[in-house]
Structure 1
């Protein structure tokens, strides 16, 4: 029995994906972030989780999170907010971010089929040096508190924290975290049929009102 937690912000202009502006407007960046979150929730929908939690920083959760328990994020830095999520859970728990819309069900299936007695944790690096997922068989926030976040060595430091605690860690594939417009195009090529890719293509298309140049 495994709990899935998605950590997300409300996708409002100026609050999410601001590094996509420019070339996108802040409104477009927020729309693209919403598409990323929707694709993430869609990829998780058919996994056999016993509990689903949206650790949410905002007021109005996305419709795609229907059926999720809404857990307001704790105050403080990201390490404290992530730690609070794990402290609120019992039993095997896997945390997923909202910034890797190329996520597929098959990427996380090992967590539900191969979580054997010799695996204490699952970990997936992001290409920017962070991480996109962390699964703990015995969730405790102490494994995250104090790990510096949003750095090029965050993933390496978090993994070291796990192994220094004696945990046996199984690695999942590295995914691209969408931070820049180049990241967005890369992810859209990896997952061309998702809502994220469609939203980006619509934003990049010349306006129908533009005349010949």
Structure 2
């Protein structure tokens, strides 16, 4: 009789545990599916979420990469793009962002994925400096380190990618530095902003890149 009671009690505990766990498991599965396949938002000016019709599309740009090649809108046509700003002499934030972006490249490893890292210090970051930096960090050819006219670079940061709300004209005393990485889809529209020093946010970026690949 005692054994029967223990068996019934044990079965009841298992059933109760199952009733408590199953909803959590179901919620986790649904959340995972939504995260994996949900459509990403579109962004308008100043990081405001909008619809596809009003989403920001990159303005025309022309810069030079570390191989002295011209990079423009045509260069990234039909590509998924990650864009960020950096400078080669940055001692703290940029190395952390570099490490996280390397992790993204290693995991995603897609020829359709391009990184545009634009210098905020073009006076120092010449093509030869960018080339040495690229070789030092063993960056793939799909990772473009861009330089050009300072006013054009800063306009691209403020009015193309909207990575900063500060005003400026790209003059000698103007300086921009942002920790954010911008995700652009194959139509050169902004689909996300991610803190480049955060492993969790970069994990979200990896998932969102895969989502964009499913959109095609």
Which bracket does the TM-score occupy, shorter chain normalised? Answer: under 0.3
**TM-score normalised by length of structure 1:** 0.23
Larger radius of gyration: 2
Higher helix share: 2
